[in-house]
A and B are shown apart, each in its own frame.
Chain A
């Protein structure tokens, strides 16, 4: 399929949180800014521009990526999930609920990225140890919580989701 180019901008089509969206972006536009500025979803944050802090983490075809290190045009035709897509019908995702219950956040700036990284972790793991959670979030910095409660929240979400599955 040929690309639509208008005034040096390229039309980028994505599926984001299940919804088909498109917008024009400069070739150099980073995915993080495309999501925030062009698609208006501001839950994805920018903290360092260098892939170091993880507050811009989104799922690209189910894989956590730092959206400040992906060009918007690279996401063309792909599936993106952001924090706004967690939970359904106004209900919190069990992971969001566990972060709330366990005081897994303070200023909240790193939280969306932390939630997206751990969403992928929960999907792709059978059992989880504290060590595995710590390894998984090592690319997501937090300056407020000291990680203990984040780890606790992720483990608790895993347990709760396991119980839900067993009930089914």
Chain B
């Protein structure tokens, strides 16, 4: 059972969330809840074709609709030099199409009206004449010399976006040639979507009289959005006020800047009225950034006794029509170089080629840090292939290859320094919870009775906490994060951060962290985020970076406050500063603990009774540039059975043991794990944004794009080990994305394990029942 917020020394306690009372009363303030005087509504005209020339856009009829105020086209934007906008990946994207459209549902025109309904009516009356072109949907075909060139604006001679590689290719090829055992698999992670329940949207409110734009937006990174908007619009940055209200889930979807945002801003400036634009669900699923879409080939070399010698990975990344992936600038393929996972590969090489196709742009890190899910899925799948080849238990193969606790800090062959970990301990904990050997015996018995039962293991290492400025930036901006702490005279605290939560519970966990550092209760610390006029500059919340980066900033800002507090305490205690000690809740004179003052006493003194010459007030700001990333890890075990009549997979048990270093609030951490596992479950079994050869999106709503419901979602069992990060101020590593990163491989490994006796070593996700049923049929395993 959870505890109250008045607990002192609150770190590590399951304190009930401070944000919940407003949400359970229906008093959250999400974007669509904000209504401004004279507000107008915007809707977008979208292309029905995936690839077509635009012959004309006629808007007269739309103006005839009652309530329609303005229509904006690509030509209008071109006249303002705003037809294109930069993407986070350094490409450019059409705001409203001119010349041709490059994916189905692409934005072609914007209509503003007095009501949502009138705006939609206006959209239906914009007459766009298209000349359809053959769409390029297959990324492999897109790379061939027969493929039409999609991006005429880039003077491209092909559809290739980038080549990125890491590691030593020559040594890798040599090691593969000399390895006694080599396994090779094709591993595909299809296009999926983060699909937060609240769609993306914004209200742009430009005041002609002051020249100030207030921009309410569903943003995971308000400061970054402010800077990008300043760069794109030419508005001065200090005249842009970004407010990110309560957010109904983000999962990476609310990091990029979308054309609708830019149109709303342009329309507000043009009309001098606030403009609200909120996507429909179909717009969300078809045009805001997707995730994954990696086509990977992996080879592992090993000795006969199961020691891995080499890893080689070749990948085609389908980025759609514009390269709008939310990768840090120095990593066009994200952190795919974590692909060596938890294992001691002496040599490795990975390469990725980005490709343009006629699909919606993007490639966000859907609850992972920049392609870590793809990397983890690959290595955890192919390690299992190797285990089967060697007739080794997948657990045993992993034990033989884990990086050992004494090897940390560990230098990976692909360039990263892992901070800490005890992988065997994490795995052992999971094995104990599930009683692995007993589970294997039962599996044997059930197999004899004709049942298809599988046990799947995934022991992953993550890379989170972007990021150290020496390796990370977005459009040149370093990816540090920040915290400002102010203690008021009565000892109550406001802390503001550059992070922005979307359900992760920052209002509670950062209050706990800061309260712990200051010797206060979490009830006395109010956390504010998401308002660029008040919060210090930060890069926002995604890629599990809040605790590793903003959390580091919060701890260090609090310590800066404590340092000044110590000077004031010395003055109050009438001793020298060297003779003051802090026991976690009070300052006292060394050797004389009866003489003590609390942080609240010091706070009052900071405004009333200071040492001679000291500046009043008790506050501090810290911009934290972490020395390294953090490396959480986990061991996940899934037990599944397969219905031989239908191909339906039933997840009987799922155990997740995570090591995310120091835990701030175990209840919140567990909740994050439950949620991420459910998303991973969806990815493994039910989700894919597929297209037909004409470029039609086949999953544009929640009836075709399935999100797990309570009925099919398994019951989650969790456990924990704690290996603090040696370089983080409180030893925390971050956890939010781990379950999404680690679980898909556990599910697939379990299903493959069930079918392994029949020669199955690989299955392509999502594992729809019909797909499994076809495999069963192939192997004569179906029953009617």
Residue contact A147 to B710, C-beta cutoff 8 Å: yes
- Cα distance, A92 to B24, chains bound together (Å): 9
User: What A residues does B701 contact at CB under 8 A?
Assistant: 48, 50, 52
Task: Known contacts A43-B26, A96-B25, A143-B251; decide if A107 and B198 are in contact (CB<8 Å).
Answer: yes
Interface string of A135-147 (1 = CB under 8 A from B): 1011111111111
Interface string of B173-212 (1 = CB under 8 A from A): 0000000000000000000000111110000000000000
Residue contact B24 to A133, C-beta cutoff 8 Å: no
Residue contact B24 to A115, C-beta cutoff 8 Å: yes
Task: Known contacts A96-B24, A149-B674; decide if A50 and B702 are in contact (CB<8 Å).
Answer: yes
Task: Answer whether residue A36 sits at the interface, using C-beta atoms and an 8 A cutoff.
Answer: yes
Residue contact B667 to A110, C-beta cutoff 8 Å: no
Interface string of B697-711 (1 = CB under 8 A from A): 000011100010111
Task: Known contacts A43-B27, A101-B1, A115-B24; decide if A52 and B674 are in contact (CB<8 Å).
Answer: no
Residue contact A141 to B709, C-beta cutoff 8 Å: yes
Task: Answer whether residue B489 sits at the interface, using C-beta atoms and an 8 A cutoff.
Answer: no
Residue contact B25 to A87, C-beta cutoff 8 Å: yes
Task: Answer whether residue A67 sits at the interface, using C-beta atoms and an 8 A cutoff.
Answer: no
Binds A, one of B14-22, B97-105, B546-554, B569-577: B14-22
- Cα distance, A163 to B308, chains bound together (Å): 59
Which B residue's beta carbon lies closest to that of A95?
B24
Task: Answer whether residue B628 sits at the interface, using C-beta atoms and an 8 A cutoff.
Answer: no
Residue contact A84 to B711, C-beta cutoff 8 Å: no
Residue contact A110 to B20, C-beta cutoff 8 Å: no
Task: Answer whether residue A105 sits at the interface, using C-beta atoms and an 8 A cutoff.
Answer: yes
User: What B residues does A108 contact at CB under 8 A?
Assistant: 19-20, 22-24, 28, 246, 248, 503
Which A residue's beta carbon lies closest to that of B1?
A101
B117 contacts which of A26, A55, A103 (Cβ < 8 Å)? A26
Residue contact B281 to A50, C-beta cutoff 8 Å: yes
Task: Known contacts A101-B2, A109-B249; decide if A143 and B195 are in contact (CB<8 Å).
Answer: yes
B26 contacts which of A42, A139, A150 (Cβ < 8 Å)? A42
Task: Answer whether residue A148 sits at the interface, using C-beta atoms and an 8 A cutoff.
Answer: yes
- Cα distance, A140 to B701, chains bound together (Å): 15
User: What B residues does A47 contact at CB under 8 A?
Assistant: 197-199, 248, 281
Residue contact A107 to B16, C-beta cutoff 8 Å: no
CB distance from B185 to the nearest CB of A (A): 29
Task: Answer whether residue A41 sits at the interface, using C-beta atoms and an 8 A cutoff.
Answer: yes
Residue contact B25 to A43, C-beta cutoff 8 Å: yes
- Cα distance, A16 to B559, chains bound together (Å): 51
User: What A residues does B673 contact at CB under 8 A?
Assistant: 146
Within 8 A of A (CB), among B14-45: 16-17, 19-30, 32-33, 35
Residue contact A100 to B196, C-beta cutoff 8 Å: no
Residue contact B24 to A103, C-beta cutoff 8 Å: no
Task: Answer whether residue B335 sits at the interface, using C-beta atoms and an 8 A cutoff.
Answer: no
User: What A residues does B674 contact at CB under 8 A?
Assistant: 145-149
- Cα distance, A99 to B16, chains bound together (Å): 10
CB distance from A92 to the nearest CB of B (A): 7
User: What B residues does A101 contact at CB under 8 A?
Assistant: 1-2, 16
Residue contact A83 to B26, C-beta cutoff 8 Å: yes
Residue contact A134 to B20, C-beta cutoff 8 Å: no
CB distance from A148 to the nearest CB of B (A): 5
CB distance from A100 to the nearest CB of B (A): 5
Task: Answer whether residue A14 sits at the interface, using C-beta atoms and an 8 A cutoff.
Answer: no
CB distance from A19 to the nearest CB of B (A): 15
CB distance from A117 to the nearest CB of B (A): 10
Task: Answer whether residue B363 sits at the interface, using C-beta atoms and an 8 A cutoff.
Answer: no
Task: Known contacts A46-B32, A50-B703; decide if A103 and B195 are in contact (CB<8 Å).
Answer: no
Task: Answer whether residue B671 sits at the interface, using C-beta atoms and an 8 A cutoff.
Answer: yes
Residue contact B248 to A45, C-beta cutoff 8 Å: yes
CB distance from A50 to the nearest CB of B (A): 5
User: What B residues does A143 contact at CB under 8 A?
Assistant: 195-197, 249, 251, 675, 678-679, 707
- Cα distance, A13 to B249, chains bound together (Å): 34
Most chain B CB within 10 A, of A41, A112, A142, is at A142
Task: Known contacts A49-B280, A107-B198; decide if A112 and B26 are in contact (CB<8 Å).
Answer: yes
Interface string of A38-63 (1 = CB under 8 A from B): 00011111111110110100000000
Task: Known contacts A108-B19, A134-B711, A137-B710; decide if A44 and B251 are in contact (CB<8 Å).
Answer: no
Which A residue's beta carbon lies closest to that of B251?
A143
A109 contacts which of B198, B671, B702 (Cβ < 8 Å)? B198
Interface size class of A (residues with CB under 8 A): 35 or more
Task: Known contacts A146-B678, A149-B671; decide if A109 and B504 are in contact (CB<8 Å).
Answer: no
CB distance from B133 to the nearest CB of A (A): 31
CB distance from B206 to the nearest CB of A (A): 23
User: What B residues does A105 contact at CB under 8 A?
Assistant: 20, 23-24
User: What B residues does A84 contact at CB under 8 A?
Assistant: 25-26
User: What A residues does B198 contact at CB under 8 A?
Assistant: 45, 47, 107, 109
Task: Answer whether residue A106 sits at the interface, using C-beta atoms and an 8 A cutoff.
Answer: yes
User: What A residues does B29 contact at CB under 8 A?
Assistant: 42
Task: Known contacts A44-B26, A49-B281, A50-B702; decide if A107 and B20 are in contact (CB<8 Å).
Answer: no
Task: Known contacts A99-B20, A134-B710; decide if A83 and B675 are in contact (CB<8 Å).
Answer: no
Most chain B CB within 10 A, of A43, A45, A49, A143, is at A143
Which A residue's beta carbon lies closest to that of B671?
A103
Within 8 A of B (CB), among A78-120: 82-84, 86-87, 92, 96, 99-103, 105-112, 115
Residue contact A107 to B502, C-beta cutoff 8 Å: yes
Task: Answer whether residue A167 sits at the interface, using C-beta atoms and an 8 A cutoff.
Answer: no
CB distance from A27 to the nearest CB of B (A): 11
CB distance from A46 to the nearest CB of B (A): 7
Task: Answer whether residue B505 sits at the interface, using C-beta atoms and an 8 A cutoff.
Answer: yes
Task: Known contacts A48-B281, A100-B16; decide if A107 and B26 are in contact (CB<8 Å).
Answer: no
A48 contacts which of B24, B247, B502, B702 (Cβ < 8 Å)? B702
User: What A residues does B324 contact at CB under 8 A?
Assistant: none
Residue contact A103 to B503, C-beta cutoff 8 Å: no
Which B residue's beta carbon lies closest to that of A93?
B24
User: What A residues does B32 contact at CB under 8 A?
Assistant: 36, 42, 45-46
Task: Answer whether residue A12 sits at the interface, using C-beta atoms and an 8 A cutoff.
Answer: no
Residue contact B503 to A144, C-beta cutoff 8 Å: yes
- Cα distance, A53 to B702, chains bound together (Å): 7
Task: Known contacts A52-B702, A101-B1; decide if A148 and B716 are in contact (CB<8 Å).
Answer: yes
- Cα distance, A50 to B283, chains bound together (Å): 13
Task: Answer whether residue A3 sits at the interface, using C-beta atoms and an 8 A cutoff.
Answer: no
Residue contact A107 to B17, C-beta cutoff 8 Å: no
Task: Answer whether residue B522 sits at the interface, using C-beta atoms and an 8 A cutoff.
Answer: no
Task: Answer whether residue B378 sits at the interface, using C-beta atoms and an 8 A cutoff.
Answer: no
Which B residue's beta carbon lies closest to that of A113?
B197
Task: Answer whether residue A28 sits at the interface, using C-beta atoms and an 8 A cutoff.
Answer: yes
Interface string of B1-18 (1 = CB under 8 A from A): 110000000000000110
Most chain B CB within 10 A, of A53, A83, A109, A140, is at A109
Residue contact A42 to B33, C-beta cutoff 8 Å: yes
Task: Answer whether residue B561 sits at the interface, using C-beta atoms and an 8 A cutoff.
Answer: no
Residue contact A28 to B117, C-beta cutoff 8 Å: yes
Task: Answer whether residue B715 sits at the interface, using C-beta atoms and an 8 A cutoff.
Answer: yes
Task: Answer whether residue B83 sits at the interface, using C-beta atoms and an 8 A cutoff.
Answer: no
User: What B residues does A33 contact at CB under 8 A?
Assistant: 116
What are 20 A-B pairs with beta-carbon distances under 8 A? A26-B117, A37-B35, A42-B26, A44-B26, A100-B16, A101-B16, A102-B2, A103-B671, A108-B19, A110-B248, A137-B709, A137-B710, A141-B707, A143-B249, A143-B675, A143-B707, A146-B671, A146-B677, A148-B674, A149-B674
Residues of A that sit less than 8 Å from B by CB: 26, 28-29, 33, 36-37, 41-50, 52-53, 55, 82-84, 86-87, 92, 96, 99-103, 105-112, 115, 133-135, 137-151
Task: List 10 additional contacts besides A142-B710, A146-B716; criterion CB under 8 Å.
Answer: A42-B32, A44-B26, A52-B701, A55-B248, A86-B25, A107-B246, A108-B246, A109-B197, A138-B710, A146-B675
Residues of B that sit less than 8 Å from A by CB: 1-2, 16-17, 19-30, 32-33, 35, 116-117, 195-199, 246-249, 251, 280-281, 502-505, 667-668, 670-679, 701-703, 707, 709-711, 713, 715-716
Closest 6 CB pairs of A and B: A43-B26, A107-B503, A109-B248, A108-B23, A146-B674, A52-B702
